[in-house]
Amino acid sequence: MPMLFADRFLLLRPLSDALYGPVGLYEDAQCSNEPVAIKQVSLARAVAALRLNPNMDNPWSEHRVVSRLMALPSHANIVRFRDEFLHAQDTWCVVMEFCPGGDLWNLLEHAPRNRLPEVMAQQLFLQCVRGVQFLHAHGIAHRDLSLENVFYCRGVCKIGDFGLSTDAPLRGKGEVVGKAYYMAPEVVNQEKYDAFAADMWSLGIMLFIMLTGSPLTSNASRDNKAFLAFCELGVAKVIDSWGLSDRISPTTVGLLGKLLRLNPVERPTAEELLELTEFMTIK
């Protein structure tokens, strides 16, 4: 018979308030009191929110992805899910490894001028690419890749927060999902899109922010003057106009140019990107 929630888990401290419920740090009696993070999802609250906006985080889609990840071998750059269960009939609980180092956005906030040296950014980015390649190889598109959704734990990057993830055969249907300045142009424009290719754009924005300390634009819309300037000039000239061309090597600028192609078909796949990135970081 399964242990009751209160018998198995001891709350150490709250961590955050997520969209549909709290996230807390607990000790797990089934794992020698190892600290774990538990996200509690009120299904009633989720139903109400999704009725108003179907593009919100969907716990049923997340459940499908979490179940798949739990059945796969663990990956160093993906948050490890330890358990999931229904509690009190209406609360879905997800038990995952605790990452005490915060996220990559927190890391940037404490860096000089909110940006990282190129070598460090490349090393962190390579870990993110390895995680995304693993997801894509197993038919999972994240759809909300961002610095805020990559946890940083003792020098290791771990991709988490799968609330907007989808099975790859279910290509995007015009939903506007994700954080505005990480969204690919085809997502912003509510076109049908390849969720894998949209993930590649988001990775490009993540690398751009790590290197420059700022998003490329507030959103990739044709109504946005900064985005139109990027379309006309290209990422290399944007970096030059920001006075950062002496800090970022031509090789890295070239990689950004590949990821931030307006035509999603022209962006590298995760497998191709991994080869490019591993080659770049070899010293």
Residue the block writes with tokens 């179940």 = 67
Q: Could you give the number of structural domains in the chain?
A: 2
Please indicate, yes or no, whether residues 65 and 125 belong to a single structural domain of this protein: no
Q: Give the type of residue at 249.
A: S
The residues carrying an active-site annotation are: 144
Picking from 29, 62, 97, the residue at the C-terminal end of a domain is 97
What pLDDT, on the 0 to 100 scale, is given for residue 1? 44
- CA distances to 59, 76, 93, 162 from 84, rounded to whole Å, are 12, 20, 5, 14
According to DSSP, residue 256 is labeled H
Please indicate, yes or no, whether residues 72 and 179 belong to a single structural domain of this protein: no
Please indicate, yes or no, whether residues 159 and 122 belong to a single structural domain of this protein: yes
Show the low-confidence residues of the chain (pLDDT under 70): 1-4, 168-178, 281-283
Please indicate, yes or no, whether residues 91 and 110 belong to a single structural domain of this protein: no
CATH of the domain at 66: 3.30.200.20
What pLDDT, on the 0 to 100 scale, is given for residue 169? 47
What pLDDT, on the 0 to 100 scale, is given for residue 173? 61
What pLDDT, on the 0 to 100 scale, is given for residue 76? 97
Phi/psi of residue 144, each to 5°? Answer: -145, 40
What pLDDT, on the 0 to 100 scale, is given for residue 170? 53
Separation between Cα atoms, residue 230 and residue 225, nearest integer Å: 9
Picking from 68, 97, 126, the residue at the C-terminal end of a domain is 97
pTM of the model: 0.92
What pLDDT, on the 0 to 100 scale, is given for residue 34? 86
What pLDDT, on the 0 to 100 scale, is given for residue 176? 58
Residue the block writes with tokens 């192609």 = 261
Q: Reduced to 3 states, what is the DSSP secondary structure of residue 157?
A: strand
Q: Are 118 and 252 in contact (CB under 8 A)?
A: yes
Burial grade of 91 (CB within 10 A; 0-12, 13-18, 19 or more): middle
Please indicate, yes or no, whether residues 55 and 120 belong to a single structural domain of this protein: no
Picking from 36, 63, 97, the residue at the C-terminal end of a domain is 97
Domain holding 261, by residue range, is 104-281
What pLDDT, on the 0 to 100 scale, is given for residue 165? 87
Please indicate, yes or no, whether residues 153 and 210 belong to a single structural domain of this protein: yes
Find, among 157, 131, 163, 121, the residue nearest to 253 by Cα.
121
